[in-house]
Each structure stands twice: as structure tokens, then as C-alpha cells.
A and B are shown apart, each in its own frame.
Chain A
């Protein structure tokens, strides 16, 4: 008894063809995400590069689509841009250091000392501000630092005055905004340290500070660097908090004001500056082992 041989359906043929061609299967699977990466992400970066090499007619505001390095010479020679970039980088570094100093005790407590319940509650407490909109937090700080705000009211009886609007106030705001981003990687890094290592260090006669310096710090450095990537890059590009809290300009404000002119080529060229700074930072971070845990 022979069964009738029917020709295979289209679907069957397709399945068979794909089964044979493993590379084609893989290609089709990755086409979506890779397409997104190349077209939307890398493509938009390429457009940014292209725009930064164009220039703009001063009076009509129309973009002149001819390649020129004028924007880059402008950025390199004008002392204003140097001042603003240095100011932004210094603020980013200051915020990173402050966040690290504040986050470490909290993360250590959460990772090594707190009971399971307290740990859970603390994680919720730290993540809660992230649910509030950025603008709400920035405006709230504007009210706090204001002349008749809560900070001056608290410090008044002590005879002190809050920093008010200005760079110090901005430093406070940034530290507040990015603290959760520093606490969480540190918490994850500290949790990973085996307790046996700390006990062994104590057995060998090391006091707390020596254990900290020689055992904990080297092991938590990758987590520290990972957290610092967040705080550094977020501060580097931010323009909303500076526009609300100070009158000085940071890189983001310069880019935004060039959109207002509108001088899009110069804005694009300025956008490349924090990009380059972050690439350098990430290369250094890789060297320090921040990505080893990935």
C-alpha cells in the first residue's frame, strides 16, 4: 500500500529551505533589531555628523549644504566654548564624586547590614523618586532653593542662608537627581563580595579601614565606575536643570540656544563634543573593568 505522494505545500517548502540555510535564518531573525540599530540609531548619528559639517546663511537661516570645517574651527578657537565645556566637565566630575560619597554608605548598609525586609523597603524608597517626572523634581528644587523657599526658612534660625540659585545649588540638584543611579550599581557590586573574603581579612589582622582599602574598594571599583558613567553622562548633557537653577550656560544650553537661532549645523557640531568626551570616558571605564560583569 503506497500513500499518495502530494506535492509539499508552500509553507513546507519554505520551512525546508530555511532549515537548510542556517545563516539565512539567523539573518532574518536579526534583521529587525539590527535594522533598527543601523537605520535609526547609527543613521541618526551619521546625520548629526553630516549636519555638523554644513553651515548656515547668517540672515535667512537656511542651511548651506556644503561640507566645511568652519564649525569645528569655531569651537576650537572661541574661548567661550572652552569655558563652557570645562565648566560642564567640572560639574559632572563634582556631581559624580558627591554621588559616590553619598551612595557608598547607603549601598553598603543595604548590601551587607540590612535585614531582608529593610533591604526591600530601602530599594523601594530609593527607586521612588525615579517615578516622579524630571521636571517636577527640577521645579521642586527651584522652589526649595528660592529666596523664600524651604531651605532658607530652615537655615534662617541658624543665621545661615541657602546657596540660592547658582552653581552650588545646581550641584545639589544634580546630586539629588542622579543618586539612585549611583546607589543601585554600588549595591549590586557590594552584594557580590563574598563575606568569606571580609572575614579572612579580619582574621589576618586587618582593621576596618585596611579591609576597606585593600579588599572592598578594588572589588567594587567596576560597580563604582558603572555608576559614575550614569552620573557623568547625565550631567554632561543636561540643560533643563541649569536653565531653571542658574543663569550660566552649560553645553546643553549652548546646543539649545543654537536651535533657537536657528543654527542647526553649529548645534550639531557642539553635540559632538559631549559625545567625544563620553567615548573617552567609556574607554577609560572599560580599562578599569566596568564592563567585566556584563
Chain B
């Protein structure tokens, strides 16, 4: 009996090891297409909530249907909560998603590992109209090769319940001060990239640390950010990933102050009855995001993918997304089509001065992204480890 057990075990292990030793990882990126062909009939997209609305959240907001009617590409949408979740979903299902909206802290990782392919920007009509400030940025262009089409940008904001929080907060630093009146009711974003928000606060409160870029932190600067976050931990009532969870917490009053996206504040105010919240971008600056539409290097629906990206960055659709989500559109011609005339001004779509103190999400690397060569900075793996330790 023992010999049979041994034989069965060995056979099972052999099967397992044999199955696992087939090669994995990235294949070489395909060559860039020079012309688009016939559409394939379907396309799947992994996007931030609110970017690719197909009527399932709210029947009044649907810009997928016109695309499906025009091209015949049946579109399936999946949403995610954080860039890490997106990266994980995209890489563990290499054939599932054709298009992804990647923020700066996911895009480079996708490019380096070969999960997304270079794009021929001449095949995307709307590329010419994209704001120059978004083109040829380190997170969407590598060695002169374009890997995606810029979508739009936004800033993380400070939100509070205007009926229960008096006086209103004016600085991020108040969210890190344990003696604040709202301690115990703070809601912050649950991702390692939030360490950059603490670094933004330190840029204002401890300038002698010399932080020039919140994603380029050497050992001393990083430790200061981690200590600040550990000091903040007892004040936190919620680490949110799913935007509906932050909405629920603000509605019930379990959170009264937090970092948020404008779409969450818009949705809260649109509730019935409306939840009284206010938002600001504090004077210290903020972290933000600048998103890029990228195409899977293994996609089988390349033509539908290109057409979808073109549709989403076209002036008509780009402004719809920007208004629904609450961000600055990427297409300069979109502003003229806004439903409120001062929309682009209120989101500073063309105001480069506003974005000077907004630090777009970017993957931290050992080679400091602020250009310093005399020190090594903490890379993303260190940020991830530190974040789990901060949460305790």
C-alpha cells in the first residue's frame, strides 16, 4: 500500500511540475499596424469606473451603444478599484482584455513587462487634438515609441461633510493631525501609491527633507512618509478601494473627511436626498492621475481596439466621460462641446499652471524619477511592503 501511495504522489508531482515548466511571461510585442482592417465583432475593455459607461450604472449615460452601432464591435466592460488591481487583472488574464485605461503607476509596468503593444498614433484620428501637455510623457512614451493615447487627467481631492465638519479643512496636513476634531472618521485610498500623498504633505511641512517629487523618495524621506502614515492610522475609519464603499461611509457618517475623486462627490450630491459634501484641492498640491488607453499585446481584436480608443478619445465622447467622472478631458476640441460653458475652466483642462503641483501617479523606481543619481530611491516593491506594514 505504501509503495502505491508513493507512486501516486510521484506521478502527481511529475504532472504538476511538467505543467508548470512551460514558458510563461511576455512575448515580443507585435509590430505596429499601418492600417486598420475589418472589425472583429467584439472587444473587451478594463477601465476605471465611469470611463466606459454602457447604461448599466445609469441608463442616461451610455456612450458605448453609439460605438457598437457604428462599428459592430460588441463591447464588454470590467471596472477596477486601484491600478494594482488593474495590473493584476490584466496580467493574470493575458487574453481577456483588449483595451485598458492605465494610470501612470500601471502603464510603465505594463510596457516593461510587454503586456501592451506600441500604438500607431496616426491611425487614431483624435490624437492630433489631444492637449500637448499630455503627449510624449514618460508614462505613455518610451524611447520615442507611443504606447497609448492620453485620455484625460484628474486630481485627488479633499472631501468633507459640510454639515458635520466645522471649521472646514483647508490642508491635507489636517488629515494627518491626530488632534483634529474629525479623528476616527477619516477615509483614505487603499493603495501603496497613497504614500505619495503623505510625501506631498511633507513637501510643505518639512521642506528640509528635500523632497522634490513624491515618487522619488530615498531612505530618509521614505521613512518620514511612513512614520507620518503610521501616525495617521488611528484616525482612519476606512481604507477604500471601491468608490461605492466610500460613498456609503460618507452617507452614514462613518467617514466625514477623506481623499476622493470628483466623481464620488458628484454622485453623493446627486443622491436623493443629496449628501452635503464639499471638495477642494489644498494649497499643498495633490496627487492625481493621467490615464492612457493602451492595447493588449496579445489582442485578437486589434481593429475594434483601435476604433474603441479612437471613439473614447474623440471630442464628443471624451467630454461626456470627463463630465460624468469629473476630470479634465484630454481632447482639446472637447471643451467646445461641454454642456456647461465653463466646464473646462473649472477643471483647468488647458491651465498648465494648475497641474504644476499635481503629481500624476507614477511607479516609483530605484533609479530616482526626479533625476537624482547620488542616491537610490525606494522602488515599488518597497512601497508595497511598507503599505502593508502601515495598515498593521
Chain A contact residues, CB within 8 Å of chain B: 38-39, 42-43, 46-47, 50, 58-63, 65, 78, 80, 83, 143, 146-149, 165, 247-249, 254, 257, 259-263
B35 close to A (CB within 8 Å): no
Q: Please, how many angstroms separate the alpha-carbon atoms of A261 and B16 in the complex?
A: 25
Q: Please, how many angstroms separate the alpha-carbon atoms of A70 and B85 in the complex?
A: 24
Q: How large is the interface on B (under 10, 10 to 19, 20 to 34, 35 or more residues)?
A: 35 or more
Chain B contact residues, CB within 8 Å of chain A: 8, 12-13, 15-17, 20-21, 24-26, 82, 84-85, 87-88, 91-92, 109, 112-113, 233, 236-239, 252-254, 363, 365, 379-381, 384, 388-389, 391-392
Interface of A is mostly: loop
Complex contacts, B381 vs chain A, CB 8 Å? 58-59
Q: Is B12's CB under 8 angstroms from A65's CB?
A: no
Distance of B91 from chain A, by nearest CB (Å): 6
Q: Please, how many angstroms separate the alpha-carbon atoms of A159 and B1 in the complex?
A: 68
Q: Is B20's CB under 8 angstroms from A65's CB?
A: yes
Q: Is B16's CB under 8 angstroms from A165's CB?
A: no
Using CB atoms, name the residue of chain B closest to A84: B392
Please indicate which of the listed interface residues B17, B109, B253, B388 has the most CB atoms of chain A within 10 Å of its own CB.
B388
Kindly identify which residue among B12, B88, B254 contacts A43, using a CB–CB cutoff of 8 Å.
B12
Distance of A194 from chain B, by nearest CB (Å): 39
Q: Is A247's CB under 8 angstroms from B380's CB?
A: no
Q: Is A80's CB under 8 angstroms from B88's CB?
A: no
Are A62 and B392 CB-contacts (below 8 A) given A42-B12, A165-B254, A262-B87?
Answer: no
Complex contacts, B365 vs chain A, CB 8 Å? 59
Kindly identify which residue among A43, A58, A78 contacts B15, using a CB–CB cutoff of 8 Å.
A43
Q: Is B88's CB under 8 angstroms from A260's CB?
A: yes
Q: Please, how many angstroms separate the alpha-carbon atoms of A260 and B379 in the complex?
A: 17
Are A146 and B109 CB-contacts (below 8 A) given A58-B380, A259-B88?
Answer: no
Complex contacts, A83 vs chain B, CB 8 Å? 392
Kindly identify which residue among B8, B238, B253, B384 contacts A247, using a CB–CB cutoff of 8 Å.
B238
Kindly identify which residue among A39, A60, A80, A147 contacts B252, using a CB–CB cutoff of 8 Å.
A147
12 contacts between A and B (CB under 8 A): A43-B16, A46-B16, A50-B16, A59-B363, A60-B26, A60-B112, A80-B392, A247-B236, A247-B238, A249-B391, A249-B392, A254-B388
Q: Please, how many angstroms separate the alpha-carbon atoms of A148 and B87 in the complex?
A: 37
Distance of B336 from chain A, by nearest CB (Å): 40
Q: Is B239's CB under 8 angstroms from A61's CB?
A: no
Q: Please, how many angstroms separate the alpha-carbon atoms of A146 and B248 in the complex?
A: 10
Are A165 and B379 CB-contacts (below 8 A) given A47-B20, A59-B112, A146-B252?
Answer: no
